[in-house]
Amino acid sequence: MRILITGSAGFVGSHLVERFLNEGHTVIGVDNYISGQVSNTDLFREHPRFTFIEADVSHGIPYTGDSLDWVMHFASPASPPHYQQFPVETLMVGAQGTQNGLELAHAHGAGFFLASTSEVYGDPHVHPQPETYWGNVNPIGVRSCYDEAKRYAEAITMAYHRSRGVNTRIIRIFNTYGPRMRPDDGRVITNFVHQALRGEPLTVYGDGSQTRSFQYIDDLVEGISRLMMVEYHEPVNLGNPDEFMMIELAKVVEDVFVNNIQMVSIPLPLDDPKQRKPDVELARKLLGWSPNISLQKGLNLLSPHLKNDQ
């Protein structure tokens, strides 16, 4: 297949590029490096079936090559510090970027695959979160540039499916980690493991009782690959249902990386969701998929990659 991936120089995008190249497909990566890394493009630059286009997909996707089978839209800042630094760009890539991807898919008769997020559930009142939950999002808060962009992206994806017949997929990704995240991306796993390796105290926001559920990248990539093969157009959660308070996460980081970590309390950011855990029954039934890499195991897999970053 010929697959165009927006956000190819990002964390998740670079793992998709790798998977599709390994499976023998041709891949076109598109990125403007707003939150990605040139080193993630360099990994594949010499590959005969990989081409890279540096472009802001909110302004258009300048692809003029042969017929595409898939447009995978993964471009968007994803870490709260990144999207709060670039709120307008984040809204644009969720809105115009998604529409440009849908138009390209429509023109090529290709499938369109949207990376949405558990953030569409906001600070959830239903726990764990099934796909049928409509969410609790502050439409004007500091996270709204991301949450509402993704909610709009889902809406326009369903509209192109319903009214233009585009063969679409939507996934809602829950907190995912692995190699090739930017060491300075500010997400909790990157912060904690780098702080632990540097011998610094772990920055726990608030009292650390808020929860998240962490998925290792390989489980996510497997779920994406399976969903491409199944005709299902409504959103599908992909995440690991093992739920941890942030102070519990700190203990797991201590077990895997160093003994006797210190913690320092930092004020809780505004609108930080108190709890998050995916209901993955739909993915289990539809895809025969379930995550099988525990947090402990995933951090062990991550560890050798991080030591190179110090």
Q: How far is the CB of 232 from ligand UDP (least distance, A)?
A: 25
Per CB under 6 A, does 152 bind ligand UDP?
A: no
* β-pair type (202-205, 263-266): parallel
- Location of structure tokens 């630094």: 85
Other CB atoms within 10 A of residue 110 CB: 22
Place of tokens 């630059």: 45
* Closer residue to ligand NAD in complex, CB, 62/109: 62
Min separation Cβ 264 and ligand UDP, Å: 10
Residue matched to tokens 């996460």: 249
146 classed as catalytic:
yes
Distance of closest approach, residue 209 Cβ to ligand UDP, in angstroms = 10
Contact criterion met (CB below 8 Å) for 76 and 5 = no
Q: Which stretch binds ligand UDP (CB under 6 A): 94-102, 126-134, 205-213, 217-225?
A: 205-213
204 contributes a contact to ligand UDP by CB under 6 A: yes
Total of chain residues touching ligand UDP, rule CB under 6 A: 13
188 contributes a contact to ligand UDP by CB under 6 A: yes
- The least distance separating ligand UDP from the CB of residue 134, rounded to whole angstroms, comes to 19
Among 87, 138, 205, 218, binds ligand UDP (CB under 6 A): 205
What is the smallest separation between the CB atom of 18 and ligand NAD, expressed in angstroms?
A: 13
Q: How far is the CB of 28 from ligand UDP (least distance, A)?
A: 29
Instruction: Write down the catalytic residue from 63, 83, 146, 177.
Output: 146
Structural contact between residues 31 and 11, judged by C-beta atoms closer than 8 angstroms: no
Q: Quote the tokens at residue 124.
A: 């959830």
Q: Which of 84, 138, 203, 275 binds ligand UDP (CB under 6 A)?
A: 203
**210 sits near ligand UDP (criterion: CB under 6 A):** yes
Contact region for ligand UDP (CB under 6 A) — 121-129, 131-139, 201-209, 302-310? 201-209
Which CB atom, from 98 or from 190, has the smaller least distance to ligand UDP? 190
Quick one: 228 or 258, whose CB is closer to ligand NAD?
Answer: 228
- Nearer Cβ to ligand UDP, position 37 or 79? 79
Distance CA 278, CA 269 (A): 22
Does 191 contact ligand UDP by CB under 6 A? Answer: yes
What, of ligand UDP, ligand NAD, none, does residue 272 touch, CB below 5 to 8 Å by kind?
A: ligand UDP
Measured distance CA(85)–CA(64) in Å, rounded: 32
Contact 227, 272 (CB under 8 A): no
Binding site for ligand NAD (CB under 6 A): 6-7, 9-13, 30-36, 56-58, 74-78, 93, 97, 115, 117, 173, 175-176
Judged by CB under 6 A, does residue 80 bind ligand UDP? yes
Which positions are catalytic?
Answer: 146
What residue ranges bind ligand UDP (CB under 6 A)?
80, 175, 187-188, 191, 203-205, 210, 212, 246, 269, 272
